[in-house]
Structure 1
Amino acid sequence: MTSPLNVPHSQERWSPRLWGTLLVLCGAMFLDALDVSMVGVALPSIADDLGLGTSSLQWIVSGYILGYGGLLLLGGRAADLLGRRRVFLIALAVFAIASLLGGLVDSGPLLIASRFIKGLSAAFTAPAGLSIITTTFKEGPERNRALSIYTTCAATGFSMGLVLSGLLTQLSWRWTMLLPAPIALLALVAGLKLIPHSDRDRTNRGYDLPGAVTGTASMLLLVFTVVQAPEVGWTSARTLLSFLAVIVLLTSFVLIEQRTANPLIRLGVLRSGNQIRAQLGAAAFFGSYVGFQFLVTQYMQSLLGWSALQTALAFLPAGVLVALSSTKIGAVVDRFGTPHLIVAGFAFLVVGYALFLRISLTPSYAVVVLPSMLLLGAACAVAFPSLNIQATNGVDDSEQGMVSGLLNTSFQVGGAIFLAVVTAAITADGGGDGSPQAVLDSYRPGLVVVTVVALAGLLITLTGLRRNRSTQRTVLVASSDGDRTAAAAGSATGTGPAAEAGAEKVAVRD
């Protein structure tokens, strides 16, 4: 059921309540990005204070991803069935409590546990928040504008998180854990007043408990296995058996979803080529970036001896570029379409990562670091909102939570997998003889990994351009003069009702 806050395409002004609802949802996205960036910069200080090595330090990041990626499918469907508002607000309250606990603990395992709980809560806030937006704003320019603002808040949170982390870490890394708590509390109070109640599915559909168990277990085990593999060995019996168990669970999940009357994920949604490319693109995009951030933070602070604030300022241009360009992204998406912008974003990523391979023990920031950061900022500015728009277009309101959960699962599982691979590449030779040059050389394979992952994402998304050109030519030949104009426009933008000749959008609803 569509929310009563839906805005007609012709209406340019949004009501104060509509703006307030959007800002609350943006606040949750802001928190997520803020938390990720602050933790990344604070990792070396956490390692020194708690005595954690590189493998253990990875779990500060991966513990969050484990909870986040493992329960997103369940979180997305829970939003559809239990009510998006209810799920969003309860999870936001848990996030605030976990943030408080994270700043008070004094051992590595307890810190990782608090991060895991935060990930669990984010697994429910992220799909619920995104689905509230996509059911509140109609598909097309209105939704594109809203999602552009939404992703802008993520960029702003990331940028502010970098600077705040650099400043707060000078006092104590604990402040980077505590800061999200009052922000989450403020968003919770505002959400209680502003988020509408009319988004609960009241059709009395059953709950797919077998699908929830097998789907959640498979995601949790997959993320855990990949994160643990660098430490226990990729070819160890434990790792191989875990991967085998993942395959069994995923196979069971697919069989259950095909046969149950009320699936956790309706597999028909994956008949859309645009949907598949959005999911794979999300995994490659976020996976490569998380690995890059982890590696570069270690490089700048542990090897170059830069302070947390210097490291934060080094990353800052990327976030600033996203924030400055964000007001125009919605119009850019309307004009060029999501497939073209996603391809452009991956192209920027590949070049930015490749340029960073020039790092040395005495790098010039303006010549070596800054160009990569600007390219990464451009990539995030065009690709991140486009991936969100492409994944949610053409999906019925009753399934927006499901698709949002699936998209966020792709982001987080991709982040966990490729972070583990990058960590394994860095620690493969143990830093050689321990000299600065040997440590620097151990970082290069990790940079190669993130570059290859981004290149793979580019190649996958390029297939979307070829598909769109092919379907547009077919429709132009087969359609009447009146239909030709609409079909060509939809195919060109990748966002209209005639996108992909209308065929893939229909397949999503089958």
Structure 2
Amino acid sequence: GPQRTKALGVYAGTASGGYCLGLVAGGLLTSIGWRWVFFAPVLLSALILLAAIPLLKDSGAPERPAGGFDLAGAFSITGAMLSLVYGVVRLEHPGNGWAGTIGAFAAGLALLAAFIVIERRSPNPLLRLGILRSGPLVRANLGALLFLGSFAGFQFLVTLYLQEVRGWSTLQTGLAMLVIGIDVILAPTLTPRLVNRYGTVPVLFGGMLLATAAYLLFLPVGLDWAYTAMLPTMLLLGLAFSLAYGPLTMAATDGIDEPEHGLAGGLLYTAIQFGTALGLSAVTAVNVAPLGDGVPPQAGLDALRTALIVPVIAGTLGAIIIAFGLRTRRALRTPEPMPAPVETST
């Protein structure tokens, strides 16, 4: 209901706040020394862990039935995702040989098939496969994979453009993308109202379309673009995240029994992380593969423009997938026509 929608909007806004802090903190830490970017999260995670112990209380939910952990399932699905991402990464260097690349993809698919077999036979599966019969959940997961994958790839390319092509500092780059964090305000205020009025799927679809439009606007990027030319893309992405991030969680749990909301949430964030890795690997492969050593600025920009097509394609596919939810929603809302009265004669 409305309270849950508002809570997820606040959650999305909080996540955006973390993104904004990360952009600025990452720029500052890199200017001090790039190793701090890897060491500071260790300290921060330790503080979060220490704070979580007294602050996060058990909700009193029933414990998982005895039977152990599905380690075989966990290892197989983790290995499948790693192998598939590694296969994409290998595409960056075609000279390494296609045998290894094909082998990585084959291993990933084989491990994925093994995971399905394991889950069907396991008495205590990591993933109850029957949950995948939910159309909204599958669409939300595929949409999340493509939405976050396209953004991860785009953000990486923009970072390369600003720092490698334009020579901006890490702090300047972080501040340039800070506008995307406007959903820290919009997600908990505007999004819940839109969802309560129009529904989850239309709002989510609007966010996906805005993200794709933002990537399209950045395609003609030039060597001497002013920041004002980049600003519309950043603003549209901020609005896209405010409309899509929270509603993705809402859509992923739509129609799922409450005891399995945790499983649905776990699937969603697995899709998000896997999509982020795939998106980053894909744009890197497209951007790096045609380049050699000593690349002139114009050649680097041309390769970057080509790689920018990847987020556009991923964003478009994500919007198309979510659009099927609009059709389903419309079909459920459309009443069947009443039969015409039959005339009788006396």
Same fold (TM over 0.5): yes
Where structure 2 has 5 or more consecutive residues not aligned to the other structure, the ranges are 339-346
Residue pair 2:162, 2:173 contacting (<8 A) in 1 also: yes
1:296 aligns with 2:153: no
Per the alignment, residue 32 of structure 1 pairs with none
Per the alignment, residue 344 of structure 2 pairs with none
Measured in 2, the distance between the counterparts of 1:180 and 1:424 equals: 27
Alpha-carbon distance, 1:430 to partner: 0.6
Measured in 2, the distance between the counterparts of 1:253 and 1:283 equals: 19
Return closer, same or farther for 1:382/1:430 CA change in 2, 3 Å cut-off.
same
Residue pair 2:136, 2:254 contacting (<8 A) in 1 also: no
Q: Which 4+ runs in 1 deviate beyond 4 A?
A: 232-235, 474-477
Indicate which of 290, 303, 314 corresponds to 1:453. 314
Per the alignment, residue 467 of structure 1 pairs with 328
Return closer, same or farther for 1:306/1:476 CA change in 2, 3 Å cut-off.
farther
Per the alignment, residue 159 of structure 1 pairs with 20
Per the alignment, residue 185 of structure 1 pairs with 46
Question: What is the CA deviation profile of residues 7-47 of structure 1, one whole-angstrom value per residue up to 9, with x for unaligned ones?
Answer: xxxxxxxxxxxxxxxxxxxxxxxxxxxxxxxxxxxxxxxxx
Return closer, same or farther for 1:438/1:153 CA change in 2, 3 Å cut-off.
same
Alpha-carbon distance, 1:474 to partner: 4.8
Per the alignment, residue 503 of structure 1 pairs with none
Cα-Cα RMSD: 2.3
Per the alignment, residue 318 of structure 1 pairs with 180
Question: What is the CA deviation profile of residues 209-257 of structure 1, one whole-angstrom value per residue up to 9, with x for unaligned ones?
Answer: 4323322222222223323332356971111122112222211221232
Report the secondary structure of 1:331's partner residue: helix
Measured in 1, the distance between the counterparts of 2:142 and 2:61 equals: 29
Residue pair 2:70, 2:124 contacting (<8 A) in 1 also: yes
Per the alignment, residue 196 of structure 1 pairs with 57
TM-score normalised by the chain length of structure 1: 0.62
1:244 aligns with 2:112: no
Measured in 2, the distance between the counterparts of 1:341 and 1:370 equals: 23
Measured in 1, the distance between the counterparts of 2:10 and 2:296 equals: 46
Per the alignment, residue 284 of structure 2 pairs with 423
Q: 1:286-365 counterparts in 2 under 5 A?
A: 286-319=148-181, 321-328=182-189, 329-365=191-227
Q: Percent identity?
A: 41
Indicate which of 58, 62, 85 corresponds to 1:223. 85
Number of residue pairs aligned between Structure 1 and Structure 2:
337
Return closer, same or farther for 1:247/1:389 CA change in 2, 3 Å cut-off.
same
Alpha-carbon distance, 1:324 to partner: 1.8
Return closer, same or farther for 1:247/1:327 CA change in 2, 3 Å cut-off.
closer
Report the secondary structure of 1:340's partner residue: helix
Indicate which of 10, 14, 18 corresponds to 1:149. 10
Alpha-carbon distance, 1:428 to partner: 2.6
Amino acid at match of 2:136: N
Measured in 2, the distance between the counterparts of 1:401 and 1:227 equals: 31
Measured in 2, the distance between the counterparts of 1:414 and 1:235 equals: 25
Measured in 1, the distance between the counterparts of 2:64 and 2:284 equals: 46
Alpha-carbon distance, 1:185 to partner: 3.2
Measured in 2, the distance between the counterparts of 1:447 and 1:202 equals: 45
Report the secondary structure of 1:285's partner residue: helix
Return closer, same or farther for 1:144/1:440 CA change in 2, 3 Å cut-off.
same
Amino acid at match of 2:238: G
Residue pair 1:429, 1:442 contacting (<8 A) in 2 also: yes
Residue pair 1:432, 1:439 contacting (<8 A) in 2 also: no
Where structure 1 has 5 or more consecutive residues not aligned to the other structure, the ranges are 1-139, 478-510
